[in-house]
Amino acid sequence: MRELIVMEGRPAAGKRMTVRLGRENQYAGHLALVNSRHPVRSAEPKLADVTPFGVRQASSPEEPRIRLERTCLQRLSALLNACGGRETIAVVSGYRSKEAQAKLYADSVRENGEAFTARYVALPGASEHQTGLAVDVGLYRPGIDYVTPSFPDEGVCAEFRRLAAKFGFIRRYSADKTDKTGIADEPWHYRYVGYPHSELMDREGLCLEEYTEIVRRHAFGTRHLYAEDGTGTYEIYGVPAEEDIAEVPVPGAGEAGWRLSGNNAGGFVVTAFYPAAAGRAAHG
């Protein structure tokens, strides 16, 4: 995959159509922001068990059956193949219900104290694990810690980290972003947001909170974000949702492929893709 080139530009020329979406749709999607200020408000996602995909699962009483949102799991499986970690990296935790998160939080307070728990365990309803898009990974070995699994910055783990963004994943919590995310450094916690958003965040050093705000500032009809990687051009813009029914502008039939995500912060993100063969380029 070629290096990503990022720029700003006017909305791409061409036909547009409008998709009408209810307020509940802004709470779900691969780019939904989840933290203590933006709790989970979406329904349970479509989940799949990790083991049929050949992904190793850590053995723990806290989560005997590990599931992930299907696209997230498919891309995780591809990432493990690419980094050579299918036999040595295990999934420690995937989807958790709000009830499971509440139990984990209470157990951690009892065993580790309130200070530790506040740093490493999200409040019930404010955990990305409830979306099915967050995955904790660790070196596959006996006695993997469920809350803080070992995932060192060397060997196959370092290769996983290096390639993660190309497969749609971001390292969600880092030490230099704790003031924005509310969670301490977690080298084992990855979040699926989809490509090219993952690459944009990784190369610019942005957490999801920062990226959500940047896309919101690049609202439809203003200066859109563009990214090129040799296969084509991605156009990215935000659309606010202030009413119960939002009208979201998207490329018209035959113009481009596109996908929608709620941002769980008052709007939507549109990602359009113009293949290189189509000759569509960002406008300056």
Please tell me if the domain spanning 5-28+206-278 has the same topology as the one spanning 47-192.
no
Closest to 4 in 3D by CA, of 262, 135, 198: 198
Collapsed DSSP state (helix, strand, coil) of residue 84: coil
pLDDT at 13: 62
CB 45 within 8 A of CB 67: no
Q: How far apart are CA 22 and CA 267, in angstroms?
A: 11
Q: How far apart are CA 83 and CA 200, in angstroms?
A: 20
E-strand spans in the chain? Answer: 5-9, 16-22, 47-49, 67-69, 89-93, 134-139, 169-173, 186-192, 224-228, 232-240, 245-251, 257-262, 267-275
- 47-192 in CATH: which number? 3.30.1380.10
Helices (H), the chain: 70-83, 98-112, 114-120, 155-163, 178-181, 197-204, 208-217
Q: CB count, 10 Å around CB of 90?
A: 23
Q: Is the peptide bond before 196 cis (omega within 30 degrees of 0)?
A: yes
pLDDT at 278: 54
pLDDT at 71: 97
Q: What is the mean pLDDT for each group of 10 consecutive residues in the chain (284 residues)?
A: 70 85 95 97 92 93 94 98 97 95 94 93 94 97 92 97 98 96 96 97 96 96 92 95 92 88 97 77 44
Catalytic residues: 186
pLDDT at 122: 92
CB 4 within 8 A of CB 229: yes
pLDDT at 168: 98
Q: How far apart are CA 212 and CA 32, in angstroms?
A: 9
Rounded to two decimals, what is the model's pTM? 0.94
pLDDT at 12: 77
pLDDT at 215: 97
Best CATH choice for the domain 5-28+206-278 from the list 3.30.200.180, 3.10.350.10, 3.30.200.20, 3.40.50.300? 3.30.200.180
pLDDT at 253: 77
For the chain, the domains span 5-28+206-278, 47-192
pLDDT at 284: 42
